[in-house]
Amino acid sequence: MVSSAPSFPPQIEEEVGKLLKLKAQLGPDESKQKFVLKTPKGTRDYSPRQMAVREKVFDVIIRCFKRHGAEVIDTPVFELKETLTGKYGEDSKLIYDLKDQGGELLSLRYDLTVPFARYLAMNKLTNIKRYHIAKVYRRDNPAMTRGRYREFYQCDFDIAGNFDPMIPDAECLKIMCEILSSLQIGDFLVKVNDRRILDGMFAICGVSDSKFRTICSSVDKLDKVSWEEVKNEMVGEKGLAPEVADRIGDYVQQHGGVSLVEQLLQDPKLSQNKQALEGLGDLKLLFEYLTLFGIDDKISFDLSLARGLDYYTGVIYEAVLLQTPAQAGEEPLGVGSVAAGGRYDGLVGMFDPKGRKVPCVGLSIGVERIFSIVEQRLEALEEKVRTTETQVLVASAQKKLLEERLKLVSELWDAGIKAELLYKKNPKLLNQLQYCEEAGIPLVAIIGEQELKDGVIKLRSVTSREEVNVRREDLVEEIKRRTGQPLRIC
Amino acid sequence: MAERAALEELVKLQGERVRGLKQQKASAELIEEEVGKLLKLKAQLGPDESKQKFVLKTPKGTRDYSPRQMAVREKVFDVIIRCFKRHGAEVIDTPVFELKETLTGKYGEDSKLIYDLKDQGGELLSLRYDLTVPFARYLAMNKLTNIKRYHIAKVYRRDNPAMTRGRYREFYQLTMTIAGHVRKEIPSALCIDSLQVNDRRILDGMFAICGVSDSKFRTICSSVDKLDKVSWEEVKNEMAVLLQTPAQAGEEPLGVGSVAAGGRYDGLVGMFDPKGRKVPCVGLSIGVERIFSIVEQRLEALEEKVRTTETQVLVASAQKKLLEERLKLVSELWDAGIKAELLYKKNPKLLNQLQYCEEAGIPLVAIIGEQELKDGVIKLRSVTSREEVREEDLKTGQNRDFNFYYGYFIDYYWQKWPDTTPFSYKALGA
């Protein structure tokens, strides 16, 4: 800033100099020194409302993982820097490092897959089916990825082990479909491809080995831009011969079901490539299993699916929401994936001193996107999101009834009922009812002088305003009945 | 290669020489000279390639949670959170790191234990040291004055292991704040309105988990009540003494981490508020790690089996070439919400499938067999009793009825054999 300041006439500069000297004598401005009230760039707090949404989403996801017999693990938020080195290619520059404070060099985890591979190698495990839900950290450049967080949740599910082909892979896809269906965030499609098919296809089209990766990332853009643009990038920017680009174009613009797999198995050029044949054979088997799982109508074999990460060795997949015309007032979130994954057989071997391989296949749910979609939908539906689960407020109709309120709320808590009371000795009934409406509490148990004498409590429905007198000793049962709670405590 | 081996041998011998000299307490100069020689030799050797690759460990002071440890953790959190929900407390979450300036000046001497992030050209950041300061930052940022909120998350401290043996550098904390109303006539101390009597119940649940008996609990409450008459220091000391629970045989005594309220807490929020507004609070921090180890210890003592999955039934095949049927059946069970698994093998042996169930604690196995397929039935077998509970006449054609019927039986037998559920609450002292 200083370098770009305009120069003032000498007299002004002199007086400014005096001002700065005086200020320096004053010392640092104590009041301004305290802090800037904000979270770090790219991170955010979760308010109770956001936590309620998050909890619902995690609940659906975790229930699905458990339904498939997955165990759960957790790992530290940071790893030894060397554990993460060399695993993420170009993206390595986005890793958060910890300051060298004289001990080990550490970095915040970038994903949950590498820690998983480290966990397997460290514990010498040869098979496990696990899920892991935790935050990961990436120093994304906000100019490029507007709205992207630097701290965000990932939900990973992986099956590690040497098994008969494609059965675990099929289960991963089944899980992905179950979760996306249960979340009710709209129609979706799962694109499937195979690393070996991609590599084989590039080879027979005439792409040199050294250009594989960069051509791959161009092809990956086909879901966002047109083929002409992709071709221009490959030929114009990446130096690919136009005929080669055309040959690639013939393949990558295709997508379909198992019939496309069979068609390609007959393709004269592709069938000459060993790698591609392997990939196609596995995909054919995969489709058979997916049909038995009843999800073949949600799967599309898409030759343009390339996916970023280097460590995939076989099948790769990505789930996208099918864009519905924007509902009234809703901003379309755009096309983007909500879940992805694939097979990565070589990663654990990178951690094992003897290079022992443990084949893995897994998936990752992009929950942050799902949080915003669910929040948006709730707002559109004007559905109230409760941040507590309180079932009944214990209220008093007149003054000097605090003791009775305390006794009653305590009984309710001991019976496992979720209850609250206002933190006032003599609250007005109206305020107590208003509290219920704001918090979404469905019932209010009103203690009144007359009712006390009669040995009853007035139980009132907040929404319908209907009241009924309930005998004190029957109150717990009545509340449980109305809130659909089972009679045992836990 | 031979050269290197010879060099390595020299290094080893020189190393032994240095060690010997140190043991004999030889003169400092002599030791220095020999160490110098050793370092020179090592430098010639160059970096040891084979040692460079695989340091398979978590960072010092941190650990993974295995499925078994997660099962314990999940249960403990379940009890705690259910208690909070019962009392209508809300939950928040904050980022794992804060702006360095947010944490500066809040921890006194302990500040040197904060993990800083490397300056990579952006904001200066540090990992949170506790949940109290982020909490206060959150309250001030959202201008809240009336809350009942809790926060459970991991915090980070670069503890010196020599001083705090066995202490983790990454560990869970639970913090809770209840904001009270200040009684105007006693401004100097945290005044607790009668409301606090009830917020105690939130503490109730946590103390119960800590194993604090009812009578002790009431004493604690009364000391909290004294707050408007005595100094916070006295109350804190009293609470610390009261909360020392007698350890069961072989257990480490559990102490409550820090009960931070009154003075420090009030001031804390005030430091964050631009207008210096003070929000009197009662805050409580509990180190949950201790609770984890106590529960784990008790589980071991009770010799209770801890299941790490909740799978209810394994779909198995009795002969070869039945993979298709297994896939179809397991898929139907999943669609009906039943927790089911199958082995990832085309032709697994029945014995292996049964063994898998025993190891994982799966109570039921649904066996598909060639003959049964023809007859339209599935064999449902209890893994522990080995009885065939029933041969169900289930026609796979009528999917809806099949799922409902089948699911009913899964649930029915699930309840009949409670020892097959994930571990009981006994270990939690409930």
List of chain A residues whose C-beta atoms are within 8 Å of the C-beta of residue B118? 96-100
Measured in angstroms, the CA of B363 and the nearest CA of chain A are apart by 13
Residues 6+ apart with CB under 8 A from A391: A417, A418, A419, A441, A442, A443, A479, A483, A485
3-state secondary structure of A284: helix
Cα–Cα distance, A45 to A322 (Å, whole number)? 30
pLDDT in tens, chain B (430 residues): 667 778 878 888 888 888 888 878 788 788 888 888 888 887 777 655 444 456 789 999 999 999 999 998 998 888 888 888 888 889 999 999 999 999 988 888 888 999 999 999 889 999 999 888 898 888 888 877 667 888 999 999 998 755 445 578 999 988 777 665 433 222 222 222 222 333 444 444 444 443 333 444 344 444 444 433 444 444 444 444 444 433 444 444 433 333 333 334 555 555 566 666 665 566 666 667 777 877 777 777 777 678 899 999 999 999 999 999 999 999 999 998 889 999 999 999 999 999 999 999 998 899 999 988 887 788 888 888 777 655 444 433 333 333 444 555 555 544 444 443 333 334 443 3
Closest CA in chain A for residue B125: A40
Cα–Cα distance, A94 to A139 (Å, whole number)? 5
| pLDDT confidence of residue B377 | 80
Q: Which two tokens stand for residue B146?
A: 């009336």
What are A189's strand-pairing partners?
Answer: A320
C-alpha pair distances (Å), A398 with each of A432, B81, B333: 12, 33, 56
Portion 367-406 of B in contact with A at CB < 8 A: none
B320 near A CB under 8 A: no
A423 neighbors B195 (Cβ within 8 angstroms):
yes
Cα–Cα distance, B356 to B369 (Å, whole number)? 18
| pLDDT confidence of residue B276 | 63
Higher pLDDT: A254 or B22? It is A254
The pLDDT confidence band at residue A40, using thresholds 50, 70 and 90, is: very high
Cα–Cα distance, B428 to B423 (Å, whole number)? 10
B82 neighbors B428 (Cβ within 8 angstroms):
no
The amino acid at residue B51 is K
Report the helix count and the strand count for chain A, using DSSP H and E: 17, 16
List of chain A residues whose C-beta atoms are within 8 Å of the C-beta of residue B97? 40, 43, 151
For residue A308, give the nearest of A337, A267, A279 by alpha carbon: A337
Residue A482, number of CB atoms within 10 A of its CB: 14
C-alpha pair distances (Å), B424 with each of A70, A73, A413: 20, 21, 22
Residues 6+ apart with CB under 8 A from A355: A349
| pLDDT confidence of residue A35 | 55
| pLDDT confidence of residue A34 | 53
Contacts of residues A10-18 at CB distance under 8 Å and 24 or more positions apart, as own/partner, are: none
Confidence check: pLDDT of A411 > 60: yes
Determine which of A101-110, A175-184, B204-213 has the lowest per-residue pLDDT on average.
B204-213
Beta strands A443-447 and A456-461 are antiparallel
Q: Which residues of A are annotated as a binding site for L-histidine?
A: 111-113, 138, 154, 158, 307, 311-312
Substitution target in A33, A45, A125, A137 with the highest count of B β-carbons within 10 Å is: A45
The amino acid at residue B173 is Q
Substitution target in A36, A55, A82, A99 with the highest count of B β-carbons within 10 Å is: A99
Cα–Cα distance, A344 to A313 (Å, whole number)? 5
Instruction: Find the mean pLDDT for residues A104-132.
Output: 95
Portion 152-211 of B in contact with A at CB < 8 A: 154, 156, 158, 170, 180-181, 193-195, 197-199, 201
Instruction: Find the mean pLDDT for residues A388-402.
Output: 94
Q: What does the DSSP 8-state code read for residue A462? A: T
Residue A403, number of CB atoms within 10 A of its CB: 12
Exposure pattern of A133-160 as b/e (b: 16+ CB <10 Å)? bbbbbbbbeeeeeeeebbbbbbbbbbbb
The pLDDT confidence band at residue A247, using thresholds 50, 70 and 90, is: very high
* B412 burial level (CB within 10 Å; 0-12, 13-18, 19+): exposed
- Stated length of chain A: 490
C-alpha pair distances (Å), A302 with each of A253, A261, A297, B115, B244: 8, 10, 14, 46, 63
Average pLDDT of the residues of chain A: 88
Q: Which two tokens stand for residue B21?
A: 């000299």
A174 neighbors A152 (Cβ within 8 angstroms):
no
3-state secondary structure of B50: helix
Contacts of residues A15-22 at CB distance under 8 Å and 24 or more positions apart, as own/partner, are: none
| pLDDT confidence of residue A425 | 87
Instruction: Find the mean pLDDT for residues A395-415.
Output: 92
Q: Which residue has the tokens 């707002």?
A: A379
Q: Which two tokens stand for residue B128?
A: 């949170």
Among A44, A67, A352, the residue with its CB nearest the CB of B334 is A67
For residue B66, give the nearest of A116, A159, A172 by alpha carbon: A116
| pLDDT confidence of residue B405 | 47
Q: Is A416's CB within 8 Å of B95's CB?
A: no
| pLDDT confidence of residue B178 | 67
Q: Which residue has the tokens 């639970």?
A: B174
3-state secondary structure of B94: coil
A and B: number of Cβ contacts within 8 A: 226
B125 near A CB under 8 A: yes
Q: Is A103's CB within 8 Å of B180's CB?
A: no
Ordered structural domains, chain B, with CATH: 1-45 (1.10.287.10), 67-187+257-299 (3.30.930.10), 313-414 (3.40.50.800)
Q: Could you report how far apart the first and last alpha carbons of chain A are, in Å?
A: 63
B88 near A CB under 8 A: yes
Residue A326, number of CB atoms within 10 A of its CB: 10
Contacts of residues A407-411 at CB distance under 8 Å and 24 or more positions apart, as own/partner, are: A408/A445, A408/A447, A408/A457, A408/A475, A409/B198, A410/B201, A411/A476
Cα–Cα distance, B201 to B215 (Å, whole number)? 14
Q: Is A130's CB within 8 Å of B67's CB?
A: yes
Cα–Cα distance, A59 to A64 (Å, whole number)? 9
CA angle B348, B350, B354 (to 5 degrees): 110
Cα–Cα distance, B169 to A269 (Å, whole number)? 58
Q: What does the DSSP 8-state code read for residue A384? A: -
Among B57, B119, B331, the residue with its CB nearest the CB of A294 is B331
Cα–Cα distance, B88 to A420 (Å, whole number)? 6
Q: Which residues of A are annotated as a binding site?
A: 111-113, 138, 154, 158, 307, 311-312
Confidence check: pLDDT of A299 > 70: yes
The pLDDT confidence band at residue A367, using thresholds 50, 70 and 90, is: very high
Cα–Cα distance, A467 to A395 (Å, whole number)? 13
B308 neighbors B71 (Cβ within 8 angstroms):
yes
Q: Is A76's CB within 8 Å of B170's CB?
A: yes
The amino acid at residue A192 is V
The amino acid at residue B321 is K
Residue A406, number of CB atoms within 10 A of its CB: 16
List of chain A residues whose C-beta atoms are within 8 Å of the C-beta of residue B345? 163-164, 167
A421 neighbors A393 (Cβ within 8 angstroms):
yes
Cα–Cα distance, A97 to A109 (Å, whole number)? 9
* Percent of chain A whose predicted confidence (pLDDT) is above 90: 67
Q: What does the DSSP 8-state code read for residue A239? A: -
Cα–Cα distance, A132 to B380 (Å, whole number)? 32
A8 near B CB under 8 A: no
A37 near B CB under 8 A: yes
Cα–Cα distance, B204 to B212 (Å, whole number)? 9
Higher pLDDT: B415 or A219? It is A219
pLDDT in tens, A143-155: 545 567 899 999 9
Cα–Cα distance, A68 to A129 (Å, whole number)? 9
| pLDDT confidence of residue B285 | 63
For residue A131, give the nearest of A179, A181, A56, A61 by alpha carbon: A61
B51 neighbors B159 (Cβ within 8 angstroms):
no
- Stated length of chain B: 430
| pLDDT confidence of residue B345 | 96
Q: Which residue has the tokens 């339904």?
A: A67
Measured in angstroms, the CA of A247 and the nearest CA of chain B are apart by 38
Q: Is A45's CB within 8 Å of B311's CB?
A: no
Cα–Cα distance, A401 to A392 (Å, whole number)? 17
B124 near A CB under 8 A: no
Measured in angstroms, the CA of B24 and the nearest CA of chain A are apart by 31
Scanning B211-322, the segments in alpha helix (DSSP H) are 214-225, 232-242, 263-272, 288-302
- Angle subtended by helix axes A48-67 and A367-380, to nearest 10: 120
Instruction: Find the mean pLDDT for residues A316-322.
Output: 93
* A76 burial level (CB within 10 Å; 0-12, 13-18, 19+): buried
List of chain B residues whose C-beta atoms are within 8 Å of the C-beta of residue A388? 85, 88-90
Closest CA in chain B for residue A288: B324
Cα–Cα distance, B131 to B115 (Å, whole number)? 15
| pLDDT confidence of residue A486 | 57
Residues 6+ apart with CB under 8 A from B68: B306, B308
| pLDDT confidence of residue B230 | 41
For residue A181, give the nearest of A18, A343, A321 by alpha carbon: A321
C-alpha pair distances (Å), B248 with each of B35, B245, B294, B299: 50, 9, 9, 13
